[in-house]
Amino acid sequence: MQQRKLGKSNLEVSALGLGCMGMSSGYGPPGEKQAMIAVLHAAVEQGVTLFDTAEIYGPLTNEALVGEALAPFQKQVKIATKFGFRVGPNGERLEGLDSRPAHIKEVAEASLKRLRTDVIDLFYQHRVDPDVPIEDVAGAVKELIQSGKVRHFGLSEAGAKTIRRAHAVLPVTALQSEYSLFWREPEVEIIPLLEELGIGFVPFSPLGKGFLTGKIDEHTKFDASDFRNIVPRFTPEARKANQAVVDLLNTIASRLKATPAQVALAWLLAQKSWIVPIPGTTKLPRLLENLGATALNLTPGDLAEINTASAKITLHGARYPEHLQKLIGR
C-alpha cells in the first residue's frame, strides 16, 4: 500500500483509509460484530493504516468495535476519532454541540478507554461549535497533546476562517470534509487554503455515500434507518438526474478494466499527494475493490476527460437537509 503524509505533519498513513461509521450507524442496521471485525482485520492485512471513527457513531459503539478489532495491531495503525456532539450517559444522542474545553477532555478520556489505547492519533472537532471560540478548542487539544493523550489535531467540515484561526493556535494536521466527483465545492476555497497552510485532506464519502459505485439507482430502496432517506440528493428524482456522473465513471472504468468506484477513488488520489480518502464499507469484496484504486493510475488524458465531462453535469439535490446544512462550513 502506498503511503501519504497528511500535509506538513509527520503523520504518515496508507493512501486509502477506512471509514468505520457504517459498521455501526448511518446506513441501516449495525453490522454483525464478528463480521465487522473480520473486515477491519482484512483492512490491516491489506496495508490500511488509517481507521476513522467518532464518539457519535453508534453512539459509542463504533469506537468500542474499532478498539476491540484493532487492539492487536496498535503499533501499526493510526486511529482517528472525533468530539463535539452531545451524547447522553447511556449512549443516547442528544441535540446540539459541545466543544467546551472541559468536555473535550472528558471525551478524550472516554474515547481512549473505548479504543483500548493510550493515545489518540488524530482527534478531530466533529463540527464547529458556534458557542465556543475555536481558539479555546485548539487550546484544549494542545493541552491533550502536551499530556501525551493525543498526537494530532483535526477539524471536520470547518470553514476557511475557522481553519486559519485554529491553525494559528495549534497546527491542524488534517481537515475531514466531504469531497468527491459528487461534491466538488472544496476545490473553490478549502483545498487552496489547505495547500497554503500545509494541512492534509481526508475526504469522507469519497464515493458519494455509495452513489458513485453504480449500485444505486432511482429504484433503490434504503432501510428505514438509513441516513440517505433524508438527503435531498438521494430522492428518486435526484438519483435519476444524477445518474449522468455514474455513466461517465462507467465509460472510463470499462476502458480501464476497472469499476466506477475505483475510478472515482483514483481521481481523488490524483488531485493532491496529501489527500487520503476514507471510503467506508461493511463488505470484504467492496473493501478489496476500493483498495484496488491505489493501483489504478489515471493518465493526464483520463483526468482531463473526467474534468471536462463532469463540468457539463449539473448535480441535483442538496447534500444535507437544511437542519444539518447549518452545521457545516462555519
pLDDT digits (tens, 9 = 90+) for 226-243: 999 999 999 999 999 999
Indicate the helix (H) or strand (E) that contains 123.
Answer: strand 120-125
Burial class (CB in 10 A: 0-12, 13-18, 19+), 134: buried
In this predicted model, what pLDDT tens digit does every residue of 57-79 receive, in sequence order?
999 999 999 999 999 999 999 99
What does pTM read for this prediction? 0.97
| Phi, psi (degrees; rounded to nearest 5) at 123 | -115, 110
Contact 99, 107 (CB under 8 A): no
Return the percentage of the chain with pLDDT > 90, whole number: 95
Domain boundaries of the chain, sorted by first residue: 3-325
Cα dist from 73 to 12, 77, 113, whole Å: 16, 6, 16
Q: Average of pLDDT values for 24-53?
A: 97
- The predicted pLDDT at position 91 comes to 87
Contact 70, 51 (CB under 8 A): yes
Q: Average of pLDDT values for 27-34?
A: 96
DSSP string, 239-288: HHHHHHHHHHHHHHHHHHT--HHHHHHHHHHHH-TTB----B-S-HHHHH
In this predicted model, what pLDDT tens digit does every residue of 115-128 receive, in sequence order?
999 999 999 999 99
The answer as to CATH 3.20.20.100 being correct for domain 3-325 is: yes
Three-class SS of residue 199?
coil
Burial class (CB in 10 A: 0-12, 13-18, 19+), 131: exposed
Peptide bond into 59 cis (omega under 30): yes
Contact 298, 270 (CB under 8 A): yes
- Cα–Cα distance, 307 to 117 (Å, whole number): 42
- Cα–Cα distance, 14 to 41 (Å, whole number): 15
Q: How many residues does the chain have?
A: 330
The angle formed by the CA atoms of residues 160, 166 and 172, to the nearest 5 degrees, is 90
Q: Average of pLDDT values for 27-46?
A: 97
- The predicted pLDDT at position 323 comes to 86
User: Pairing mode, if any, of strands 12-14 and 3-5?
Assistant: antiparallel
In this predicted model, what pLDDT tens digit does every residue of 135-193 receive, in sequence order?
999 999 999 999 999 999 999 999 999 999 999 999 999 999 999 999 999 999 999 99
Contact 264, 236 (CB under 8 A): no
Q: What is the mean pLDDT of the chain?
A: 97
Closest CA to 211 of 186, 236, 185: 236
Give residues with Cβ within 8 angstroms of 68, minimum separation 6: 37, 116
- Cα–Cα distance, 22 to 286 (Å, whole number): 13
* Residues catalogued as catalytic: 57
pLDDT at residue 325 greater than cutoff 90: no
The x, y and z cell numbers of residue 250, run together, are: 462507467
Closest CA to 123 of 136, 140, 98, 135: 140
